[in-house]
Structure 1
C-alpha cells in the first residue's frame, strides 16, 4: 500500500524519481514550489564546483539560498552562482547586510538595478544594524516588493540589544502588511542572538508569541544549530520553515523533518505531529 500509517499518501513518485526507497511511514513533505516546510540555506561563498555538486543531489530539499552578508558584492562568480540556482529551481536571495549598507549610503536604486541585471529575484530587508526607522523599513519593503520577492527580517545582530516579544511581533506583522513574502526571525549564523540566548538556547516565550500572532507558513525561523532545528520541529512539526542552514546540514535537517533521526523519531513517527 502507498499510504502512511495515518492515511496520508506516500510521495512515491518523488522518491522514485530520486531512486529512493519508500517503505517507511514518514511525514509527507510538500513538493517544490513549497509554501511551508521551507529550507533556507546560508551560502558563504561555496566554490562553484562544490555548489553544483550539492545542487545536483540536494536541490529538491532547498527552497532559498542566501548569499550571506555582502559577499555577493565581491563574488567574481556571482552570475554562475545565480544560474546554478535558477536551473535547480532554488531561489537565490541577497544578504540583508548588503541592503542595509546600500540604504545607509543612499544606493538602493543602484542595488536594485545591479541585482536585476544579475538575475537576482529575492532580497532580504533587515535592520540588524539598527539604522532604519520603522517607517523607512516599511517603505523599503513596499518599494522592493514591486520587483522582487522580499524576505523581511526582525532582530538585531548584537547580543546586547533587548529582545522584547511584543516589539518583535509588531515588527513582523508590519513587515507582512508592507508586502513581505516571508518574515524572518533573526538567529544569525551563530545561533546566539535574537531567537536564542548567548548559549544558543531557544527563547521559548518569544517563539510562542510569534506563533500565536502570525501565520507560521509566512515565518522563517533562523536555526543554524541542530538543537534549535530539533526544538522547532518538535514543537511545530516537520513543515516548519527553517533558515540559515549550512549546506552540509541540509540532508541531516531533512532526516529531522522526517523522523529519521533519534532527536525527532518518537515525536514524528509514533503518534506525534507528523508535520501536518
Structure 2
C-alpha cells in the first residue's frame, strides 16, 4: 500500500486527459516493456513506437497486447508516416497500423517538405480511424522557429482533427522548443499555451532539467513527452515534488 502521510500535488487517475506522460520506445523487447510497465505502468499514458522501429519490430503485436492490458495507448511514430507520405503510401501505412490495432498515430512534418495544407489533409484522413497527435516544429537544428507560426499551425492542426499537439524537442532536447544548449524557449511555450491552451499541448522533454522546468513553471499536470523508459518513475517523482528539483510544487509549510 502506498503511504499517505505527505501532502503532495493531486494527480488525476487513468484514463487521464491532463498530466500525460508519453514515453519513447526505441525498439525494446517485450520483456523490457513488461518490466517498465510493471514498475510504472500506472504513470504511463502514451507509448510512442519511435521513428520507424514499428516497421521492423517482430515483437510489436505482443507489445501492443501488453500495452492494452496496462491501459497505455500505443502511438506510431511520426517519421514512419512521413516517409510513407513521401513515397505516396500514407494510406497503406494507416491501413497497416489499423490492422495491427495501434490506436494512435503521430502526424508530423519535421523532415518531409509537407505544406501545412497537406499536413491538415493527412490529419483529417488519419483522424477517421485513429487518435491523432500532431507534432509542430522541425527536427533540424537550423530551422527558423517563429513562435506565432508554431501556435497558428497548432491551432489549425487541432481544427483539422488532431486530439493534441506535440511540441517538437526530439530525443536530444536540443531543437524545436529548445535552444541547442537544451534551454527552454519560453517564447514558443508561451505562444502555444496562449493560443491553444495548456491542456492541448504535450511538450517533448527528454532531459531531467527540462522536465523539472515544465513542472515548476506549468504545474504537476503538464503533459510531458519523449520520456525515457527507465525514467518513468523518476518523472512521476518530479511531478509530485519528491525530488529537490521540484520540491517547490509540494505543499511545504513556510
Normalising by the residue count of structure 1, what TM-score does the alignment of the two structures yield? 0.90
Q: Is the 8 A contact 2:216 2:248 kept in 1?
A: no
Which of the numbers 163, 167, 175 marks the counterpart of 2:149? Answer: 167
What secondary structure sits across from 2:222 in the alignment? coil
Contact 2:82 2:112 in 1 (8 A): no
* Cα shift at 1:74: 0.5
Conserved 8 A contact 2:49-2:77: yes
* 1:118 corresponds to 2:100: yes
Q: Write the distance in 2 (CA, Å) between the matches of 1:256 and 1:214.
A: 25
Residue by residue over 1:151-199, the C-alpha shift from the partner in whole angstroms, topping out at 9 and shown as x without a partner, is 0000111100011101100110110111100100000000000000111
* Corresponding residue of 2:167: 185
> Which ranges in structure 1 are unaligned for 5 or more consecutive residues?
1-18
Q: Give the one of 8, 11, 15 matched to 1:29.
A: 11
The aligned runs of 1:131-150 (5 Å cut-off) are: 131-150=113-132
Structure 1 residues 214-223 or 34-43, which shifts more? 214-223
1:255 has 2:237 as partner: yes
Q: CA deviation at 1:57?
A: 2.4
* Match of residue 34 from structure 2: 52
Q: Give SS of 1:269's match.
A: coil
For 1:93, what is the secondary structure of its paired residue? strand
Gaps of 5+ in 2: none
Partner of 1:94: 76
Contact 1:130 1:156 in 2 (8 A): no
Q: Structure 1: how far apart are the matches of 2:253 and 2:228?
A: 30
Tell me the distance in 2 between the aligned counterparts of 1:130 and 1:194. Answer: 16
Distance apart, 1:269 and its partner CA: 2.3
Aligned residues: 254
CA distance in 1, matches of 2:142, 2:42: 38
User: Which of the numbers 39, 44, 56 marks the counterpart of 1:74?
Assistant: 56
Following TM superposition, by how much is the alpha carbon of 1:271 offset from its aligned partner in structure 2, in angstroms? 7.3
2:189 to 207, 214, 222: 207
Corresponding position of 1:231: 213
Misfit runs of 4+, over 4 Å: none
Higher-Rg structure is 1
**Match status 1:265 vs 2:250:** no
For residues 145 and 95 of structure 2, the distance between their equivalents in structure 1, rounded to whole angstroms, comes to: 35
Q: CA deviation at 1:108?
A: 1.3
Normalised by the size of structure 2, how large is the TM-score? 0.98
State the distance in 2 between where 1:216 and 1:183 align: 10
- Structure 1 residue matching 2:170: 3-state secondary structure: coil
CA distance in 2: counterparts of 1:218 and 1:206, whole angstroms: 14
RMSD over aligned CA atoms reads 1.2
